[in-house]
Homo-oligomer: A and B are copies of this chain.
Amino acid sequence: MTVYTASVTAPVNIATLKYWGKRDTKLNLPTNSSISVTLSQDDLRTLTSAATAPEFERDTLWLNGEPHSIDNERTQNCLRDLRQLRKEMESKDASLPTLSQWKLHIVSENNFPTAAGLASSAAGFAALVSAIAKLYQLPQSTSEISRIARKGSGSACRSLFGGYVAWEMGKAEDGHDSMAVQIADSSDWPQMKACVLVVSDIKKDVSSTQGMQLTVATSELFKERIEHVVPKRFEVMRKAIVEKDFATFAKETMMDSNSFHATCLDSFPPIFYMNDTSKRIISWCHTINQFYGETIVAYTFDAGPNAVLYYLAENESKLFAFIYKLFGSVPGWDKKFTTEQLEAFNHQFESSNFTARELDLELQKDVARVILTQVGSGPQETNESLIDAKTGLPKE
């Protein structure tokens, strides 16, 4: 049996200008353009191996070691589009093996717990689509491939690029102009770092998919957001990224997170993704920026209580003087810092003479872990395969 295989890793991205609302739920066409930062795959990535062979009996998916249904419409849409592109190649070149007619085996694993509430579906669909595109040796550009990932999970299209990425909403009814483009590469502004505070919480009440359509249908303020607030912010944020203007990037990021959650609250019934812990983290970010008299940190919250803090490498010790003081007991710090480095953060806090506000050290009880990472690259082909090339099945 000849098994064709390809393996790709793909990153998580965290939006700084939020995607919230679909104008077409089947095609995952958004009501507004969005912007995100792609995070380093050293810390957060999905590895997906795709294989195909004439002997395979059915399309099969294994996620994190378990067989998983592949029959959902979103995944099927991705497979159909990828096969169609392969078929076009095969029709032009009869020497190509007819991969488009064979079944697929797909094996996928995250290097982070799904329960962390991070955007695992974005990395997942980006890896799935990229791995099959590699397997099929598709000649399409990354933006073109991102259109297919978009059909799997809207925000997945942004994980097709590294660095700073825009998802342009497009105008066409068939969605051919709704895809990701890179605003700047990670190497253009490599100083961007991220600190994820994973907030302990019960499962969220309302999924993103349900939540965003409730907002579209019921929020009286939503129209203003998509018609005026976001288009203006999109240009301001893009410019701030190109010019590496952190203060503007940070302010727009924070305001957009608040604007998105405001339209959730304005939905009926209202949707709450942030909790009291999230709010206290927000309040601390404003306190820290105020203390230093400059904007050194930005917060953003997706459809859940976890905080993602963006900051520049040059301000790490100023920021962590506070963040390590507040969340020092939370796991995750020793993956990136030595005991001496962590002690230095403590020392910096003590010598800062901060007295403006009581340190609510109870806060760290509500945070489960900290993930320290930074801006990173887009999907990468890898020799690390999850599929046994002899059997076409997941490796033991």
Chain A residues packing against B (C-beta within 8 Å): 205, 219-221, 223-225, 228-229, 251, 254-255, 258-259, 261-263, 265-270, 272, 275-276, 279, 282-283, 286
Contact = CB atoms under 8 A, between A and B. Distances in A.
Contacts of A261: 265
A275 B270 CA distance: 14
Contact of A221 (B251, B259, B282): B259
Contact of A220 (B205, B224, B266, B286): B224
Contacts of A286: 269
A261 to B, nearest CB: 6
Nearest to A251: B268
Nearest to A268: B255
Contacts of A255: 220, 268
A282 B270 contact: yes
A282 B269 contact: yes
A255 B270 CA distance: 8
A304 to B, nearest CB: 14
Contact of A224 (B223, B267, B272): B223
12 contacts: A219-B262, A220-B224, A220-B228, A220-B255, A221-B221, A221-B229, A221-B262, A221-B263, A224-B224, A258-B268, A258-B270, A270-B282
Contacts of A263: 221, 262
Given A220-B224, A258-B265, 12 more contacts: A205-B283, A219-B262, A220-B259, A221-B221, A221-B229, A224-B224, A255-B268, A262-B262, A262-B263, A262-B265, A269-B282, A275-B276
Contacts of A276: 275-276
